[in-house]
Chains A and B, each alone.
Chain A
Amino acid sequence: MAMEITQYLLAAQSPDARVRTEAENSLKQFQEQNLPQFLLSLSVELANNEKPSESRRLAGILLKNSLDAKDSGRKELLVKQWFAIDLALKAQIKELLLRTIGSSVSEARQTSAQVIAKVASIEVPQKQWPELVGSLLNNMTQQDSPAHLKQATLETLGYVCEEISHHDLVQDEVNSVLTAVVQGMNQSENNAEVRLAATKALLNALDFSQTNFENEMERNYIMKMVCETACAHEAVIRQAAFECLVSIASTYYEVLEQYMQTLFELTAKAVKEDEESVALQAVEFWSTICDEEIDRQEYDSPDTGDSSPPHSGFIEKALPHIVPMLLETLEKQDEDQDHEDDVWNISMAGGTCLGLVARTVGDGIVPLVMPFVEINIRKPNWRSREAATYAFGSILEGPTIDKLAPMVAAGLEFLLTATKDENNHVRDTTAWTLSRIFEFLHTPDSGFSVISPQNLPRIVVVLLESMKDVPNVAEKVCGAIYNLAQGYEDAGASSSLLSPYLTEIIQHLLAAAERTDGAESKLRSASYETLNEVVRCSNLIEAAGIIGQLLPVIMAKLGQTMDLQVVTTEDREKQAELQASLCGVLQVIIQKLSSKDETKPIIMQNADQIMMLFLRVFGCHSSSVHEEAMLAIGALAYATGAEFAKYMPELFKYLQTGLQNFEEYQVCSITVGVVGDICRALDEKILPFCDQIMSLLIQNLQSEALHRSVKPPIFSCFGDIALAIGGQFERYVATALQIMQGAAQVCAQMDTLDEELMDYGNQLRRSIFEAYSGILQGFKDAKADLMVPYAQHLLQFVELVSKDSLRDESVTKAAVAAMGDLADVVGEKTKPLFSNFTFCGEFLSECLDSEDEDLKDTARWAQGMIARLMVTS
């Protein structure tokens, strides 16, 4: 029997904290002691129209929280608990919920719709609620169903579709759902609420409709209804209909051809005259078409051959109409759009779409945009000048350099002058456009740059002057300098061109970083990031002195952060953020200077002080280790080599803390990488620390709580440790190999359709092979036989991987290498295995045919190792 819990639900919302806590405790107790009755009681409460809306609302929330949680571990537990509940009782709950969507109280209807979807998310995939869809559809087909029931039913269908996958329904169910939803959109039969609910439900049901979209008649019907709805009287309904069109554009691009004329007219009208919320969706429709066509173009590279998906060239065909439509939006700027991050308006959407169109069609856009630029760029109205500049900046990615170069060369001086425009927006967009020019038309490495030794001095002067502009402009200028420097990276002789200006540029960047008028410290981090790129891309021989001088400056700044007054959490965050930027700069400097023997001594001389600073940074943050400091320590370990041993006693506890930081898994991951760096620096001197490191790494691998992305680096780290300590790895081999075999098993069972999961799978597989390689090579001289029991499993794993056509090249390489390592290290005893695993030959020959020289070399080596094995007897 359900319990009467109204008073507790109300008391739990009392302003009196004592009353509230007591009621919350009672509810919690009830939940813990008898979950089934608790859920039933909540459902009864929610279903009862006599009850106050406050108690019903909380009942709904508690129900949802008992069925779903953001945390995946918790969610799993909740699902288990639900499955454990008696079927009859669950039937009662579901019945109550289905009844509630017919309630006259709209809030109760809505809440129960959401709860039903949560139950559906658990039960439908398990085929445990077969009558759900039928029961909902019944609400739609009953002649006398009131409008509010239809509305709530459609909402429920929408939520359910959102929660489950289309594999969970049979086609008949999909057909009925879709029919009900599309009929619900019918203007002549339904009121606005029903039509809105139906249109929103359709958005979620679209993913289910593959089969229906393949059928022309059904597709025509759906498209007709959506297009009609896009002209509805109510703006919210039109907006929902356009959202459906956006989704259709990406999901059903292939079948859009016959509707394009209509869709163009609809969207053009909306962009021109509809409310902004609707117009934004209409622009998004075209941006989505661009996304699709860009994807297809990238996919359509010569090596993939004829299997690329069809490309209908919608943008190309509609180009003369779309471009004017988009240009028109550009002059509808908000006054303060450059200052606020969460603004999204029609001119921003239109400009963004214009950039996508340029990437889609390339040269074709240039003659359509340039007249607009030329007419508007000198107008007295700032909106015209900004729009013209934005249009120009937008089309710089996509068209060929040949097409753009003359215009950019002609316009560059104008833009440099415009950095002094009286209007903040114009200057902001001008700086952004300059940064785009340097991004796309400044690649001396490949033989073209709009920047010459003649105009470079002027450019640098203008940029440095603009660094003093208001923060939002200065931030864009940082971007321009970033791209300017980037162009000179690895650019041979021309990389010297920037050298004379380095000192001045660095000074200005440091000054900008010091400014206090930059909101949310965006300018400061932009300055430091640009500083990093300037250092990274500099010509080291010429810049060594300057970078050598920068080092103590940055070290001093980092030292000063320790003295900042830290009272509030906000203070602490600010301190950490500043330290992050400075550690980042130090990391870049360390890496740059240690890349050449001539400049390495600068790091060696300062290593003790740098390390001390990093340790102090760690000391500032008791709860965690600082990610950027850790990254920098990895670079330092590489620079100092075996000398790094002297820092280990102090550093070790922070390594341990880092390895145990599951919450900020990036920190954990970086720490794992740094352990690898240290292994390579110290070799066998890492041994005293290995027991503790290995035990932490193993715990991490076994933990459910650690983010999965950290697990591949841990396996790679096994290899690093093994290679460093050689035969001493013996004591870990049994445990390590057991886990590696377990992980290989997991790889074998992964869902190959899930792209993100496959990415992870590739990383995991590569790292397992790297672990094998490190361990095998580490055992080479003394303990090779220890690996005999694992040889078969390794080859099985290689075989499995070799049969996966989706595997990444890096996985292939690691697999081949590990196979060669096995033959090389264990030798004789693996001969029968290699004879049995006949896939090896095919796999090797596939690798030998690769374009990748590295892979070929590895395969050749592995083939040699295996062939030797076969020769000796």
Chain B
Amino acid sequence: MAPHDLRRPFKRRPISDQQKRRELSLLRQSQHRSDAQQRARNLASSVISLQSPSSPDVDPEELSEPMPDVDATGHESEASGFNIRQASSLRGPEARKWFASQLMLPEWMIDVPENLSRDWYVLARPAGKRCFVVSADGTTVSRLRNGSVLHHFPSALPGGARKKGVSGPAQSYSILDCIFHELDQTYYVIDMVCWRGYSLYECTAEFRFFWLQSKLDETGACDPPSFLHKFRFSVVPFYNCDQTGLHSAYTESSPYVKDGLLFYNKHAHYHTGNTPLVLIWKDERCSQYVIDTDNNGQVLNQQHIVLELQDDGKIVTSDDPPVVVNCLNADFIKQSGLTPGSLVRFAIGDGGLKCVDGKFEKADLQYISLSNRARAFADSYSKIMFQYMARHSPLKVEDLASMISHEDQQDKSPEVEMSG
């Protein structure tokens, strides 16, 4: 047994200068190494940033277009992924405002996009309340499109409940785009926006859907409700929009009541606000609500639309930029007590609508009233047109199918020639 050495350093500096010189040299070397590698990296990224990341199938404008300024609270939308952290600390009306503008809103399908089978997914939209579900700091909150809170609950989502031994950093947060389905009290997830703090805004739908599928299940969020997991989550099945996929989404039974079909362009990022890269389409078979109804569920005799009044008397859609539908004269505005920014409800008269190249040439509008207060936005161009077509010459599922089969023919044609 070696005797224990009692001696401790006495009147000595703990480190020799030689050791210090070695350490300083190592520090210098590692600093220079990291500088050298950093230079190499910056060079690389500046080269890349000159090339605009576009693909032939996606409108380059769409991808490079900066996101609309989010709100009045001063949060830039650039690099929106990072601002979600700040936003998650917002409270009250500010938070509502912010969340209200964060959902990606589909346009209504008024004509069939090209390359459906190659570039698009299709899924059956559950009927229910569209909302954002945010899990962070041990709790989960769902917010409706107008920003108001739907539920505040514990969930098995990352950081979604207070419990011991949760993996991952405490501050991570996740944001899901969901539809809450009242009947089975389930959140149907249609998109994933952030996962464990990793922003998916800049990722393609293809990637987001893949990630959604692989990640959600492993958290236990899809399990039946329990004490620390109040609502079940479920991923809405999505399909490649070929004949089979379209057929499945359209006809197959689902645990939820369907409300139309959603089409996602695979290459599109999560774009807040209206986007033509996500489309909604409905018919009587897959939705109870094809044509707008009144508060009692009765289909109206006439199509109603809500438009926004501008300073110059023009009444416009909610699109960005807005589409002008008509113009009100000053006397009428004054007489009806309307002010700029008012949302105004009109009925479409027998004269109907006529559009050329996305502009209204003619619109027979009949003033009804100021829209009710709960309303946050005017109708979009595509919604107005879809509703109009639904009443007159609807886009049928057969049209979609035939478009797909036409595309398939084109794809296959070279093979046919070869074999012939």
| Interface residues in chain A, defined as those with a beta carbon under 8 Å from any beta carbon in chain B | 158-159, 162, 200, 203-204, 243, 246, 280-281, 284, 287, 342, 344, 348-349, 351-352, 428-429, 432, 476, 479, 482, 528-529, 532-533, 580, 584, 587-588, 591, 628, 631, 634-635, 638, 666, 670, 673, 676-677, 680, 716, 719-720, 723, 770, 773-774, 777-778, 780, 817, 820-821, 824-825, 835, 838, 840-842, 844-846, 848-849, 861, 863-865, 867-868, 870-873
Contact = CB atoms under 8 A, between A and B. Distances in A.
Contact of B37 (A352, A817, A842, A864): A817
Given A204-B1, A835-B210, A719 B168 contact: no
Contacts of B36: 680, 720, 723
Contact of B21 (A342, A428, A587): A587
Closest 7 CB pairs of A and B: A845-B197, A529-B17, A841-B198, A777-B40, A845-B198, A867-B202, A344-B7
A635 B25 contact: yes
A159 B202 contact: no
B26 A673 contact: yes
Contacts of B11: 428-429, 432, 476
A723 B37 contact: yes
Given A845-B196, A872-B53, A777 B21 contact: no
Nearest to B53: A871
Contacts of A861: 41, 45
Contact of B4 (A246, A352, A670): A246
A631 B22 contact: yes
A429 B11 CA distance: 8
Contacts of A529: 16-18
Contacts of A204: 1
Nearest to A348: B10
B195 A841 contact: yes
Contacts of B53: 868, 871-872
B129 interface: no
Interface string B25-40: 1101110110011001
Most buried by B among A673, A770, A821: A673
Most buried by B among A280, A580, A634, A872: A872
B351 to A, nearest CB: 45
Contacts of A835: 207, 210
Most buried by B among A634, A666, A778, A870: A870
Nearest to B215: A838
Interface in B267-315: 267, 269
Nearest to B10: A348
Nearest to B269: A871
Nearest to B2: A162
A476 B24 CA distance: 24
B360 interface: no
B228 interface: no
A158 B44 CA distance: 63
Given A676-B29, A870-B207, A842 B196 contact: yes
A841 B196 contact: yes
A412 B169 CA distance: 50
A825 B40 CA distance: 10
A670 B28 CA distance: 13
Contacts of B202: 867, 870-871
5 contacts: A584-B18, A628-B18, A777-B37, A780-B40, A817-B41
Contacts of A838: 211, 214-215
Contacts of B17: 528-529, 532-533, 584
Contacts of B72: none
A794 to B, nearest CB: 15
A870 B6 contact: no
Contacts of B267: 871, 873
Given A720-B33, A861-B45, A867-B203, 8 more contacts: A284-B6, A588-B21, A673-B25, A680-B32, A770-B37, A841-B196, A841-B198, A872-B53
B21 A821 contact: no
Nearest to A803: B167
B204 interface: yes
A842 B55 contact: no
Nearest to A867: B202
A638 B198 contact: no
B171 interface: yes
A661 to B, nearest CB: 16
A553 B294 CA distance: 98
B8 interface: yes
B374 interface: no
B416 interface: no
A791 B298 CA distance: 60
A280 B3 CA distance: 13
A745 to B, nearest CB: 24
B37 A281 contact: no
Contacts of A773: 37
Contacts of B1: 158-159, 162, 200, 203-204
A862 to B, nearest CB: 9
Contacts of A680: 32-33, 36
Contacts of B25: 587, 631, 634-635, 670, 673
Contacts of B207: 835, 870
B203 A872 contact: no
Interface string B323-337: 000000000000000
A325 B29 CA distance: 49
Most buried by B among A349, A588, A638, A873: A873
Nearest to A114: B1
B172 interface: yes
B48 interface: yes
B401 interface: no
A821 B48 CA distance: 13
Contacts of B44: 777, 780, 824-825
Given A719-B37, A777-B44, A870-B207, A844 B63 contact: no
A784 to B, nearest CB: 10
A433 B230 CA distance: 66
A427 to B, nearest CB: 13
B13 interface: yes
Nearest to A155: B1
A482 B214 CA distance: 60
B198 A716 contact: no
Nearest to B55: A873
B22 to A, nearest CB: 7
B8 A287 contact: yes
B8 A848 contact: no
A844 B198 contact: yes
B204 A673 contact: no
A865 B33 CA distance: 21
Contacts of B168: 842, 846
Given A533-B17, A838-B214, A824 B41 contact: yes
Contacts of B269: 871
